[in-house]
Amino acid sequence: MSLNRDKYQALATLLEQLRSDATTTQLDAPELRRRLASLQEFFGQQIVPLTDVDSRVQSYRTEISKQLRLLEIDVMFFQGARQVSTAQTRLQTISDRLTTLLRYCTAILEPEAQGEK
């Protein structure tokens, strides 16, 4: 699982960087879309092909995939925001979604002893 673990760790790092940049530097919509596309590409190329016999990890991977699609919709809503207050609300939603994604990565990276005996 070491190689798989490294890939999930890399995904978590990318998510953390995006969340940090989205909340502190106030990324503009095109840059946010570009970063999200890069994140989705990494997920599709590095994470999806992994074969995990652990159903717990498979479940989290499915949830990560779903949350990434929802994040894409959140970014589209952010892009369409015309008022500053609406844009701020959308950025908070994006940040919350990224936090959820990070929690899923953390759950996968936790020692397998959590759910297995």
Q: pLDDT, tens digit, for every residue of 21-51?
A: 888 877 788 999 999 999 999 999 999 998 8
Structure confidence at residue 29 (pLDDT): 87
Report which of 77, 76, 68 is spatially closest to residue 100, judged by C-alpha positions. 68
Q: Against a cut of 0.85, is the pTM above it?
A: yes
Q: What is the tally of structural domains in the chain?
A: 1
What is the rounded distance in angstroms from the CA atom of residue 24 to the CA atom of residue 55? Answer: 36
CATH of the domain at 35: 1.20.1440
For residue 58, the enclosing domain spans 2-111
- What band does 110 get if pLDDT is binned at 50, 70 and 90? confident
